[in-house]
Amino acid sequence: MQPISVNLGEPVIELRDVDVTFGSQAVLRRVNLEVRRGETLVIIGESGCGKSVTMKLMSALLQPTAGEVWWSGRPVTERTERELNRERLKYGYLFQGAALFDSLDVFENVAFGLRQNTPLDEAAIQHIVHERLREVGLPESSCRKKPAMLSGGMRKRVGLARALAMAPEVMFYDEPTTGLDPIMTDVINELILMTRQRQPVTSVVVTHEMSTVRKVADRILMFYPVSRLGSDEPQIIFEGTADEAFASEDPRVAQFVTGNAGERLQELAVA
């Protein structure tokens, strides 16, 4: 399955001149970006460059040190806590480790958000849970298994089913294929594409996996660590398609997408 061609709409999420600092450590510096309705935006970059922090800002799980986060043309800070909680229900999140509740079985994990946030009766919840599990390729026989009984790939799929149960308008995928073998990596990539095919969802994917980049991305942003930038250099050093990333003449982009350590080995030797 190939990325779906879409006519991109208005920005659903914007970061405007955003800084994030933890103590004396600058993680993000003057970051400006948009996530457009209907697209799959993939964020790449080496560890420690602020990718996951950016995703937490987008979903208002973290507040910027400076600058603003906008949802659908309005600053997040203008919303009341009640509005924020209501609008967060439009966002689905597949965490890096799936973040399942260990004490709950598969069915109860997927049903959790429905029970907490909707007035649906048990029959409706059961229908949605079984439907979402089927969509991610898990049989009903998996419903009574605890997370400890599942493989890494199955846990990821349960986490995805849980997020999709709430019919989100925006899906966040934080390193969705980390720790998976190549076959299961492709399964997750296909599920990301299938999710878009089944419903009009906007997706943000943070990944190091180039097969994911090639398969699902409409647009790519590459971040670079603040500590390795000049004072006037932008932190987003690349924006474009997968083909453009692999053809980039910027050595920082080329080294990352081809997995070539290059001068970084020399830096480590000096350090």
* Ordered mean pLDDT values, 10 residues apiece, the chain (271 residues): 57 96 92 95 92 92 94 92 88 84 94 92 95 90 92 88 92 88 88 85 93 94 93 92 94 88 58 51
Among candidate residues 259, 266, 256, the one with its CA nearest the CA of residue 45: 256
170-174 and 40-44 strand pairing:
unpaired
Residue 148 belongs to some domain of the structure: no
Residue 33 is predicted with a pLDDT of 96
Any long-range contacts for 128-131 (C-beta under 8 Å, 24+ apart)? 128/165, 129/161, 129/165
Structure tokens belonging to residue 64: 């910027």
- Check: CB of residue 41 under 8 Å from CB of residue 35: yes
Residue 217 belongs to some domain of the structure: yes
Residue 1 is predicted with a pLDDT of 52
Q: Within 13 Å, how many C-alpha atoms sit on residue 84's CB side? A: 15
Domain coverage including residue 71: 9-86+207-271
Residue 150 belongs to some domain of the structure: no
Instruction: Report the phi/psi class of residue 205: left, alpha or beta, with left for phi > 0 and alpha for psi in -120 to 50.
Output: beta
10 Å Cβ neighbour count for 148?
8
Residue 253 belongs to some domain of the structure: yes
- Structurally, the chain folds into a number of domains equal to 1
**Domain CATH for 31:** 3.40.50.300
Structure confidence by residue, pLDDT tens digits, 201-232: 999 999 988 999 999 999 999 999 999 998 88
Provide the whole-model pTM.
0.88
- Check: CB of residue 217 under 8 Å from CB of residue 183: no
Residue 129 belongs to some domain of the structure: no
Across the beta sheet with 91-94, what order do the strands follow? 91-94, 170-174, 202-206, 40-44, 219-223, 236-240
Residue 226 belongs to some domain of the structure: yes
